[in-house]
Amino acid sequence: MGVVKGYKNIWYYRFIQTNGKYTKKSLHTTDRDEAERLSQVFIREHREEMKDFQEVTLHKLRQDFEEYHIKNKPKKTKDNYRIVFNGLENLLGSEFIIKNILPVNIEKYKQSLLDEGKSPATVNSYLRNVRCIFNKAVHKFKYLKENPANEVEFLEDPERLRDFSETEVNLLAENIKNKLIRVVFLIAVYAGLRKGEILHIRWKDIDFTNKTINIINNRAFKTKTRKIRQVPISDELFHIIKEIQFERFGDKENNIINLEDYLLENSYGSPFNGNYISREFKKYLRAFALMRIIIFIPHGLLSLHYPLKMVSLLNKYKK
């Protein structure tokens, strides 16, 4: 099930009909990204004709998720998702049809975790995994129209605050020695962007005239919400971007650049590894006893997103 290339490079959507026979429908385009978009439209309009969407069980979803999403993930990540799947299967049964899963079923799973004595932080961690699983069922596998876990609220956990205070932000900005980490941190503060969004900004996404950054989806990267948006560039962020531009391209006439290049890229011309960024940033959190903020920026910064005093920050950036 999915898009396949056919005669004269035309893309088709291939699926199993309710009678069990395979078929495919032309999407009338030779562009892969357009085909992916049109396939979602086709699915919405013809979902009832597709056997795939009628009989997908929790066990089938688990197989696909483990094969196509966590196959190459670290063992700890795999174990965490397997715990979640085990819990859901114990509660609902492995042959439960996933289109029949309702928010109340996820609520019962949440309550079962509390009954086992799990802390609010652990329960919330498992709920995030549940959301991820069903997000894949919606967006990657196209098994569902909506994520049933989205309506389930996380538990309040006053002992595990995630937001930075203004003092903590300034403390980190003035003391992060790793230049790359400091730049990513400052962009997160000034633009309220997520780590993956920052690492996948290309020069073509930056509108210097209107001072905006376009956060878009492409084959290599999908935003968390799958939504395209424009983010304003503050004067402080503009200065940082121009500094990066000057360091990369010097005083060439008009700072001519390859618009396909990433704003921040490694020596191979690829985005920096997100795990490396998180790992290095956590070293500073530990150094300043801020490990209560366990989730890497900007989850703790989205609610801040305010101007900081620039003198010390820019001096630090230029070093």
Taking only the tens place, the pLDDT of each residue in 100-131 is 999 999 999 999 999 999 988 899 999 999 99
Please tell me the predicted confidence (pLDDT) of residue 317: 43
pLDDT for residue 156 is more than 90: no
Q: What residues have CB less than 8 Å from 35, skipping those under 6 apart?
A: 3, 11, 13, 27, 29
State how far the Cα of 127 lies from the Cα of 82, in Å rounded to an integer. Answer: 13
Question: 85-99, 158-172, 180-194: which has the highest mean pLDDT?
Answer: 85-99
Model confidence, pTM: 0.53
Average pLDDT (210-237) is 85
pLDDT digits (tens, 9 = 90+) for 22-58: 788 888 899 888 888 888 787 767 766 665 555 789 9
Tell me, what's the pLDDT at 88?
96
- Note the pLDDT tens digit of each residue in 261-277: 999 999 888 999 988 99
pLDDT of 255 higher than 90? no
Is pLDDT of 289 > 80?
Answer: no
Displacement of CA 288 from its chain's centroid (Å)? 27
Number of CB atoms found within 10 A of residue 77's CB: 13
Task: State the chain's mean pLDDT as an integer.
Answer: 81
Instruction: In whole angstroms, give the CA distance from residue 117 to residue 131.
Output: 21
